């Protein structure tokens, strides 16, 4: 997308680069919640990324589609963002498959996650 070709006033001026991380159902996914210990490790990993300011926020999807959850990552490259997603316990266990997509969003610098 070439933002220079878009007329002024149609694109936010405070755009920043982020990575959209998506967790899709993996080969070891099964209906219902994951085992308690796995969920605790998954949520702990996400909290760690948030506290390290490598994840702005994360959350589950609530429908029955192919996606389990999403997060907005701060990384130097798509490869670095993919590496963060690859370490998620759900991915390591094969319950989820990680996808990463570069995106431009208005600055999320003011977003806070409270634990």
Q: What is residue 34's DSSP assignment?
A: P
**Per-residue pLDDT reduced to its tens digit, 2-33:** 777 888 889 898 999 999 999 999 999 988 76
Cα Rg of the chain (Å, integer): 16
Domain 14-103 is found in CATH 3.40.50.720? no
For the chain, which ranges sit under pLDDT 70?
A: 1, 33
pTM of the predicted protein model: 0.91
HSE of 90, CA atoms in CB hemisphere, 13 A: 29
Q: Domain segments of the chain: what residues?
A: 14-103
């Amino acid at each position: 997308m070439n933002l220079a070709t878009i007329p002024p006033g149609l694109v936010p001026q405070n755009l920043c680069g982020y990575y959209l991380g998506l967790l899709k159902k993996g080969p070891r996914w099964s209906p219902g919640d994951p085992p308690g210990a796995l969920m605790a490790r998954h949520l702990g990993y996400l909290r760690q990324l948030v506290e390290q300011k490598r994840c702005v926020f994360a959350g589950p999807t609530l429908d029955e589609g192919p996606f389990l959850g999403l997060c907005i990552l701060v990384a130097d490259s798509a490869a670095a963002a993919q590496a963060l997603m690859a370490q998620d316990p759900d991915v390591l266990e094969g319950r989820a498959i990680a996808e990463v997509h570069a995106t431009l969003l208005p600055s999320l610098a003011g977003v806070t996650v409270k634990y």
